[in-house]
Structure 1
Amino acid sequence: MIAVRIKYVQKHRGRDGRVRYYFRHPRLPRVSLPDLHSDDFWPAYQKALAQDTFQEKQTAKEGDTFSALCEAWLRSAHYIGLKPSTQRGYRNIVRRMQLEDFADHQVRYFTTPHIRAFIGRKSKTPAAANHWLKMFGMIFQYAVDRGEIERNPATGISRMKEKSVGAKSWEDSEIAQYENYWPSGSTARLALYLLLYTGQRRSDVVRMGWADIQEAGLLSVQQMKTGTRLLIPLHPALAREIDQVPKTHPTFLATEEGKPFSVHVFSHRIAKWVEMCGIKERLSPHGLRKAAARRMAEAGCSPHQIASITGHKTLSEIERYTKAADQARLARDAVLKIGHGSFTKS
């Protein structure tokens, strides 16, 4: 079946699972539409298109709405200059914001308390609230730069504290269990070693191939997320697995059809391989990036040495691993010095 897109109509699936349709025009008020398959849809759509032209002119005279500002920002040089994956993520957030009641408010009337209140609607999901805060900041800064408003109302608002710790780092026992189940030469074993011994993200690992192998056993990587270029020495265990990949393959990792993995398919495949080897925890590719950083920290690597492999822009995330490793090492040394003695004097 061919999907037909109707101009100015947006489809939105709510948390209750219901699909709703909205008329969204950058210079006309938002209108809730009947179900697309209802007999009432087209009359309502035509009525929305034919809204009073005076109302349209009045809206333009009074100033643009937040929804209109969003549309302008999505056409801006700043947005167009972003990576496609980043554009897609930002656009999805903006489209959800445009479905909110504040989308039809005039930009010049937004204040910091308003933004704080709108962010508060997402208090049960702090990560989503912080995404909204980031988008408000960028979009209103765009309005400031264009001279439409004097001050960014999103400035000075603190991010919500996120309780989530993100992807779980793989434990050494889980890595060993996975290795014992998946033999050398399997795609599952190669995927493990590419993630673990390069410390890269899944979006980078699925693109690695023979063309990235440099002289002196170095793997050339340009990170998709940050654009950072890295040269990573090949670990002997990883080199043995790569040597078993035909040089005719465009990428080291390939599906049964010989095609490169997409990022999402690769994540699902990792989850399946984890389940098949009997690991009960929900483990992800990103957890192996964390495990790589943890192992390097436990081996005594400095934050700068770890960053030379992982490509982290800041050292704050890496220092979490090195501090934990240093604490464990100091604690072991302290216990050894105590020996069979007591912490307190007799």
Structure 2
Amino acid sequence: MARPRDRSNRFLPEFVTREKNRHGNVRYRFRKKGLPSGYFKATLGTEDFRTEYHAFLNPSAEKPKIARSTAAPGSLDEALDRYMNPITRLGPSEITQQKVKAVLEDFRNGDETSGYRGTRMLRGINFESVDKILAKKRVKTGVGNKTKGGINAAIKLRKELVRFFDFCLKAGLCEVNPAAQSEKLKVAIGERTKGFHTWTEAEIQQYRDHHKLGTRERLAMELYLWTDQRRCDVFKMGKAQIVGGRIPVVQAKTGKALWVPLAPQLLEAIVAMPPHLTSPFCFIVSRKGTAYTKESFGNWFKDACVAAGLMHHNGHGLRKATLRRLAELGTANKPMKALSGQERDETLAIYTADADQKRLADQAITALARWEMQAKQEDRDGEYRFTAND
């Protein structure tokens, strides 16, 4: 008679078990008689997890071959292909790697004016060339969510080009780093932005009034608001992951492991969901019952915001709203970093600057007003008053 599966593993795929190491971190292990066992690297519920699962089931399957670069020696194409192989050179997490790769590929492809840059010889690129490329990138084009370029995009491009040409310098592909020699970009007052819009309390209530409990749209908003996580982590959260009233999160961007407690408001939204609109593996599923990708999840939630009359709102603005709330309550940095996963006070300050400024300004005016009133009272008390006996 087969031994019944542990209750904590009842929602997991066959031959997969949940284990907790001595540090309290949850890991998933594949074990089947006759096949090699191993631990999953990907997060439960993701496409990468399913790929790993099938690889464990079919260990003899042929692995994809790494494509060799056919670029001309000494060209930008050859240097970029070498730099991005292995892709782990671009960053510590898959999300960072893909973002950096997109920046470099955009640089390689060029624009309508410059044409394709990949065939250019690396040694022919100097700091003046880089300055011109950055000047073009600094000009923002498009409208709404279809914008490209801008000062922040130019700063990011220069940063990645400095790293790229530094690699080329060490590899003997060039003699100088033209990106490092290029002019540093400075943000003009008119170009400064506060990033994604931070939701106000009135806007949160407006969204709740439009999307009632029991809808996917409402649950998505509460997940963003009460977990304070990024889109790339929220879209793959599910019931099967809950352990001891907390959701374990391994942040896709940073790799940091967190335990996020379930707030009563979030639990209410989870319980209110009809079974046909959700899944044990993923809270938010499409109408076909399949999980979203992080991109399609973000687009779907954006549509939900527009339907509620919130035209310039998105999920990241709710992450900022959670930190704004905590800052307004006077919460110390350490608890806020424990929830959001931020590691540096300087990064956290970007999210809480407005709330901190209001709170500290209130304290300053209150202290100043109290001081003046006390000074006047002391002056009145010190005045000599004439009486009838004088």
User: Same fold judged by TM-score > 0.5?
Assistant: yes
Measured in 2, the distance between the counterparts of 1:81 and 1:128 equals: 18
Matches within 5 A, 1:52-91: 60=73, 64-76=74-86, 78-79=88-89, 83-91=93-101
Partner of 2:162: 137
Taking the aligned partners of 1:128 and 1:26, their CA distance within structure 2 comes to: 27
Tell me the equivalent position of 1:43.
Answer: none
Counterparts of 2:356 and 2:288, CA distance in 1: 46
Verify the 8 A CA contact 1:188 1:273 in the aligned structure 2. Answer: yes
Match of 2:286 among 246, 255, 277: 255
Flag the 1:331–1:73 CA change in 2: closer, same or farther, 3 A.
closer
Count of residues in correspondence between the two structures:
286
Corresponding residue number in structure 2 for 1:230 = 258
Counterpart amino acid of 1:143? C
Aligned residue for 1:193? 222
Residue in structure 1 matching 2:267, options 239, 259, 263: 239
% identical equivalent positions:
27
1:227 Cα shift? 1.0
Range with bigger deviation, 302-311 or 283-292: 302-311
How far apart are the structure 2 equivalents of 1:93 and 1:330?
39
- The amino acid that maps onto 2:290 is K
Report the equivalent of 2:342. Answer: 312
3-state SS of paired residue (2:213): coil
TM-score (norm 2): 0.64
**Aligned equivalents of 1:335, 1:136: Cα separation in 2:** 47
**How far off its partner does 1:298 sit?**
0.8
Structure 1 counterpart of 2:127, one-letter code? T
Q: In structure 2, do the counterparts of structure 1 residues 229 and 342 end up closer, same or farther at CA, with 3 Å as the change threshold?
A: same
Change (3 A) 1:149 1:268: closer
Structure 1 stretch 223-232 or stretch 148-157: which is displaced more? 148-157
Aligned counterparts of 1:96 and 1:331: Cα–Cα separation in 2: 44
User: Within 5 A, what are the aligned runs for 1:149-298?
Assistant: 149-155=174-180, 157=182, 158-161=184-187, 163-215=192-244, 217-245=245-273, 246=275, 248-279=279-310, 281-298=311-328
SS of structure 2 residue aligned to 1:155: helix
Assess, with a 3 A threshold, how the Cα gap between structure 1 residues 78 and 85 changes in structure 2: closer, same or farther: closer
Amino acid at match of 1:26: A
Distance in 1 (alpha carbons) for counterparts of 2:290 and 2:301:
16
Please give the secondary structure, in 2, of the residue aligned with 1:154: helix
Task: Identify the residue that residue 331 of structure 1 maps to in structure 2.
Answer: 361
Tell whether the 8 Å contact from 1:219 to 1:231 is kept in structure 2 after alignment: yes
Paired amino acid for 2:104: V
Residues 1:26 and 2:68 are matched in the alignment: no
The Cα shift of 1:326 comes to 3.6
Partner AA of 2:211 in structure 1: W
Q: Tell me the amino acid that sits aligned with residue 284 of structure 1.
A: N
Greater Cα shift, 117-126 or 284-293: 117-126
Amino acid at match of 1:116: D
Counterpart AA for 1:297: A
Paired residues of 1:267 and 1:285 also in contact (CA < 8 A): yes
Query: What's the CA shift for 1:67?
Result: 2.7
3-state DSSP class of the match of 2:180?
Answer: coil
Q: Quick one: structure 1 residues 248 and 111, their matched pair in 2 at CA, closer, same or farther if it must change by over 3 Å?
A: closer
Q: Shift in Å at residue 256 of structure 1?
A: 1.8
What corresponds to 1:147 in structure 2?
172
Contact 1:210/1:251 (<8 A) preserved: yes
Alignment partners' CA distance in 2, 1:156 and 1:120: 15
CA contact (8 A) 2:199 2:317 kept: yes
Unaligned segments of structure 1, at least 5 residues: 1-23, 28-59
Q: Does the 8 A contact of 1:110 with 1:153 survive in 2?
A: yes
CA distance in 2, matches of 1:77, 1:85: 11
Residue of structure 1 equivalent to 2:131: 116
Letter in 2 for 1:193: E
SS across alignment from 1:230? strand
CA drift at 1:164: 3.2
When residues 170 and 156 of structure 1 are mapped into structure 2, their CA distance, relative to the original with a 3 A threshold, is farther
CA distance in 1, matches of 2:171, 2:241: 43
TM-aligned CA deviation for residue 142 of structure 1: 1.8
Pick from 293, 302, 318 the counterpart of residue 332 of structure 2.
302
- 1:143 positional shift: 1.2
Residue 92 (1) aligns with residue 120 (2): no
Deviation at 1:285, TM superposition (A): 0.7
Contact 2:75–2:118 at 8 Å: present in 1 too? yes
C-alpha displacement of 1:291: 0.4
Hey, what does 1:53 align to over in structure 2? none
How high is the TM-score relative to the length of structure 1? 0.72
Tell which structure's C-alpha radius of gyration is larger.
Answer: 2
Q: Which runs of 5+ in 2 are unaligned?
A: 1-68, 140-149, 380-390
Q: 1:26, 1:68 within 8 Å by CA — same for their partners in 2?
A: yes
Q: Which amino acid aligns with 1:288?
A: L
